[in-house]
Structure 1
Amino acid sequence: MKLILKLLPLLLLGACAANQQKPIPDDPYYAPVYPDDGNSGLVPTGSIFEHNRATPLFSDLKAHRVGDIVTIQLVESTQAKKSAANQISKGSDLTVNPLTAAGSNVTINGKSLDLGYSDSMDTKRSAGTDQSNSLSGEISANVIQVLGNGNLVVRGEKWITINNGDEFIRITGIVRPQDITTSNTVQSPRVANARIQYSGTGTFADSQKVGWLSKFFMSDWWPF
């Protein structure tokens, strides 16, 4: 009973960690960014030309302003493999022949005085890990900031509702305008400081999670 009372605070701590807020659609952090209306700073000269909305004659349609949309092609593939093997062998053998004196063996209680010793140790250890992940698809993101060097800070999300659960993809990062193709796309490996999240919510996603009590027994808090 005392042990249970001592572990109760740790169990409650694990329960609080399991009740963290889940990702939800329409998160304000991932809300789309809309450009300015472009009417600010207009000078009443009578001209119908608006510099803020003008497009140079020889420019393309690639994203380059706050509020523009760029399509990010998810081409992620990682593979890691590691193996290690150690072998330690050690042995020793010592033998002392019977001691002799005056041409005969030295004896104690009728037994010859000699010594023999042998020892050996053989230890083998091996370990290996193999992991691979891949993610493909497309997601459109908003340009939320244009940095001083021209790089674009992008952020966006996509939610898909399937039966009783939702799946979502979120991405944030920095894109160079030079890496954006003429079709206004850029591959995810060229997104700097990229943070890509692909997960889900609902019954199917919850069934793959480990309960908070099981997490406690698998955590560093469990002393055994």
Structure 2
Amino acid sequence: MTQHRTMPLILALGLAACSGTPVGRPPPLSPPAANPEARAIATPDLPPPPPPSGVLRASTSGSLWAETPAPLLGARRASARGDILTVVIDIADSAQISNRTARSRQGAQQAGAEALFGLGGAALSPGVDIGSGSTFSGDGSVRRSERVLLRVAATVTEVMPNGTLAIAGSQEVRVNNELRELLVTGYVRPADISRLNEVSYDRIAQARISYGGRGQITDMQQPRWGAQILDAALPF
């Protein structure tokens, strides 16, 4: 009899462990090798083609021709698959919209017949009397303010045929039992990368930026899975 009573409790605890953060343990970090950044770094592009036959190649340290990717002046910018650059996310958006609409319409029609087929006493005045009226009014307003300031290192995952760089970056920080996660993907032109090897978020095409987290605090801010099912199922 006791076994039958404990089975529902075990199932409930199992569902609770699967639906959120494991009980008594912090949220796990994502393995580094399971993302496109690690694959791009571990699988570099093909080596560059050799220089033309007329170019002199010397092995001395004072040669102008260097087989290393480092430039002569300035810091090296990301340009090939596997290179790393810094994405600067500085979002300070503010929007305020207010709309007001009012509409009113009235109409009246009246028709009568003093005589009908020679009958003077028809007494059909008015014969038809129609009136209509409508009124509509609406108000709407939107006020939004956002401020996000973040920096994350991203990796060039692919070089497109036109030279555009596909980048992807991820960052996870775990404090106690709460994990904060930052993800960014998009396409960058090499000319938009600064001399400090940085690119602003507003110069990333098809930018996808996600900043959130998971853990005990995040789980407490969300309704339980039973309440979510009822909210989706109930029509009222």
TM superposition score category, shorter chain reference = 0.5 to 0.7
| Structure 1 match to 2:165 | 152
Indicate the SS of the match to 1:149. coil
Deviations 1:137-188 (CA, angstroms, capped at 9, x unpaired): 1000111112222221111111111222010111111111111111111111
Counterpart pick for 2:100 among 81, 85, 88: 85
* Unaligned ranges ≥5, structure 2: 1-14, 22-26, 51-58, 111-125
**8 A contact 1:35–1:66 mirrored in 2:** no
Indicate the SS of the match to 1:132. strand
1:99-118 paired onto structure 2 within 5 Å? none
Deviation of 1:117 after TM superposition, in Å, equals: 10
1:1-224 paired onto structure 2 within 5 Å? 19=19, 24-26=29-31, 28-32=34-38, 33-34=40-41, 53-58=68-73, 60-90=75-105, 122-219=135-232, 221-224=233-236
**8 A contact 1:167–1:201 mirrored in 2:** yes
Give 1:82's aligned amino acid. I
RMSD: 4.1
Structure 2 CA distance for partners of 1:31 and 1:180, relative to 1, 3 Å? closer
Deviation of 1:57 after TM superposition, in Å, equals: 3.2
Deviation of 1:94 after TM superposition, in Å, equals: 9.7
Give aligned-pair identity as a percent. 24
TM-score of the aligned structures, taking structure 1 as reference length:
0.64
TM-score of the aligned structures, taking structure 2 as reference length:
0.61
Structure 2 CA distance for partners of 1:40 and 1:152, relative to 1, 3 Å? closer
Indicate the SS of the match to 2:41. coil
| Structure 2 match to 1:11 | none
Give 2:157's aligned amino acid. I
Tell me the distance in 1 between the aligned counterparts of 2:162 and 2:225.
47
Say which is worse superposed, 132-141 or 175-184, in terms of deviation. 132-141
* Unaligned ranges ≥5, structure 1: 1-14, 96-113
Deviation of 1:193 after TM superposition, in Å, equals: 1.2
Deviation of 1:64 after TM superposition, in Å, equals: 1.2
Q: Alignment length, in residue pairs?
A: 187
Deviations 1:2-36 (CA, angstroms, capped at 9, x unpaired): xxxxxxxxxxxxx9xx9599995226125423256
Deviations 1:45-67 (CA, angstroms, capped at 9, x unpaired): xx799976343435741111222
Tell me the distance in 2 between the aligned counterparts of 1:39 and 1:122.
71
Deviation of 1:73 after TM superposition, in Å, equals: 0.4
| Structure 1 match to 2:119 | none
